[in-house]
Structure 1
Amino acid sequence: MKRFLILALIAFSFAGALRAERSMPRKDYVTRIESCEAIIREFQASADYQIPQAVLQNAQAIVITNQFKAGFLFGVKDGYGVIMVRRPDGSWSIPAMLSAGEASFGLQIGANSVETVYILNDVDIARRLYKGRFNIGVDAAAIAGPRVAETTKINREILAAPILVYTKKTGLFAGATVKTGWIAANNVGNRAFYETRYGLPEILFGDWVALQPEAEPLHQYIAQITQ
């Protein structure tokens, strides 16, 4: 009986979370876009976390996530993010909404969130999100990326890695193999923010969805730092 009640509570919690996701107003997705922009700007403004120019110039897609404790009783890790891909002409797609969870870095002591930037060196990885959840470090190899202070560790092997991971969690060194949970397309969020019926493929690789003013600062900043 006790086990049944626990399982019921978990199911109820996740059902409530899904209902909340469906009912979120557009302004809340604007906040998420702005949060992801703040994360990448903070990374690049810090000598301890800055991503090297050589890594950014090689990037074929960039994912920014913010993960946090979603459950008071169970400590479930959940979160959100955005993805942008580099198109064949060198320009960047508009940001698409993602869901993210189960960051295996764990939460820092005294903190309630984990901010992460993923550099994807293979644009085909973004297409795998069409099929559902993508497990970073499982569905594609992921290693800790070198920071500006570690430029001597940048080599051809690191730049060829499918995914480079940057997080504010300390204790990782460049080249270390990591697993950081999953990301998935947030089609509900994309439709609400862009007010469109199109999904992830069209948003990332098509020209049918217009860049919204609220996402323009993030779009411009990514284009600036990846030149």
Structure 2
Amino acid sequence: MLRSGLGKRSKWVPLGPVTPKLPNGCANTVKRVPPSQRSCVRVKGTCGKGKDMDMKRVLASICLSFLLASTALAASTRDDLQARMDSAKTVLDQIMAAKDNSIPSNILRQATCVAVVPSLVKGAFLVGAQYGQGVVTCRTGHGWSAPVFIRMAGGSFGFQIGGQATDLILVAVNERGMQDLLRDKFKIGGDASAAAGPVGRAGQASTDWKMNAELLSYSRAKGIFAGIDLDGTGVSQNREDTEIYYGAPHDFDSILRGDVAVPPGAVPFVREVARFFVEAKANH
């Protein structure tokens, strides 16, 4: 079986019997993993070598596909989405509270859009796969837009046991970056140029990102905030969740360009983004 969803409401979804034969020396490595998931786990040491490697890559691809499909089938409720919105606000607030180790003010001044993905999960028993859901707001002529919901997914196929939750922030720094976020879907490093963002006062002097990057990416894991390379990660619009949150279908372009009013539940998040943008501009 495979766990559907990433939150408290997750369910076990039957995938049929999976009983792979593990190479010698692997049993102890995977003994803490449910037997039905062991085909999706990276096994270290003597595992994953020789002829088994091709099969493991095939299983990796299958497991990632099932993860994304089962997560997409787990419909969000309005309360789930409000919790995600609140988490995004909290992540941004906590990261920006560390003035000497946060996003530099010159990047905040340049920002055209901000995406926050609380608890992007990487390698949770699944082939180094990463999956997360977050929210995006963009700058308009009169402030910041109402937010929309997005998905991020990708897989390195570097097998590993154990998951790691990472808070992620993407900053679009020009009109091209904003256009990327208005697409139905795009791939970082392929359709959109991105770079690990500079951090803190030292990053204030960095100008390399101005040359090519449309998006700057940041992560926070185990209390450490830093730029992160997200090449190969896919970003897509989550129209279903956006419609549930707003109670009616809205075009992403209309929302992010400021044509739709900010819902009351999203006001704290949008105000937090606006507060840091205004402060950065005022300190210029």
Give the TM-score normalised by the residue count of structure 2.
Answer: 0.65
1:133 is aligned with what amino acid?
A: K
User: Any conservation in 2 of the 1:191–1:199 contact (CA below 8 Å)?
Assistant: no
Deviation at 1:180, TM superposition (A): 6.0
1:204 is aligned with what amino acid?
A: L
User: Any conservation in 2 of the 1:86–1:123 contact (CA below 8 Å)?
Assistant: no
- Corresponding residue for 2:71? 17
Structure with bigger gyration radius: 2
- Corresponding residue for 1:128? 180
Tell me, which stretches of 5 or more residues in structure 1 are unaligned? none
User: Any conservation in 2 of the 1:49–1:168 contact (CA below 8 Å)?
Assistant: no
- Corresponding residue for 2:220? 168
Higher mean displacement: 9-18 or 28-37:
9-18
- Corresponding residue for 1:54? 106
**Aligned pairs for 1:71-220 within 5 A:** 72=125, 74=127, 76-87=129-140, 89-102=141-154, 112-151=164-203, 153-155=205-207, 157-159=208-210, 161-168=213-220, 179=231, 181-207=233-259, 209-220=260-271
Judged with a 3 Å threshold, the aligned counterparts in structure 2 of structure 1 residues 168 and 49 are, in CA distance, closer, same or farther, namely farther
Deviation at 1:50, TM superposition (A): 0.9
User: Any conservation in 1 of the 2:64–2:155 contact (CA below 8 Å)?
Assistant: no
User: Any conservation in 1 of the 2:116–2:136 contact (CA below 8 Å)?
Assistant: yes
1:157-191 per-residue CA deviation (whole Å, 9 max, x = no partner) reads 43453222221256967xx9762612111000100
User: Any conservation in 2 of the 1:55–1:159 contact (CA below 8 Å)?
Assistant: no
- Corresponding residue for 1:37? 89
Deviation at 1:61, TM superposition (A): 0.9
Deviation at 1:130, TM superposition (A): 4.6
User: Any conservation in 1 of the 2:124–2:162 contact (CA below 8 Å)?
Assistant: no
User: Any conservation in 1 of the 2:195–2:215 contact (CA below 8 Å)?
Assistant: yes
2:103 is aligned with what amino acid?
A: I
Higher RCO, Cα 8 Å, sep 6+: 1
Give the TM-score normalised by the residue count of structure 1.
Answer: 0.79
Deviation at 1:69, TM superposition (A): 4.4
Name the SS of the counterpart of 2:144 in structure 1.
coil
Q: CA RMSD in A?
A: 3.3
User: Any conservation in 2 of the 1:190–1:199 contact (CA below 8 Å)?
Assistant: no
Higher mean displacement: 71-80 or 188-197:
71-80
Deviation at 1:41, TM superposition (A): 1.0
Deviation at 1:79, TM superposition (A): 0.7
Tell me, which stretches of 5 or more residues in structure 2 are unaligned? 1-17, 21-54, 279-284
Give the Cα separation in 1 of the matches to 2:268 and 2:87: 12
Name the SS of the counterpart of 1:28 in structure 2.
helix
Name the SS of the counterpart of 2:244 in structure 1.
helix
Judged with a 3 Å threshold, the aligned counterparts in structure 2 of structure 1 residues 61 and 103 are, in CA distance, closer, same or farther, namely farther
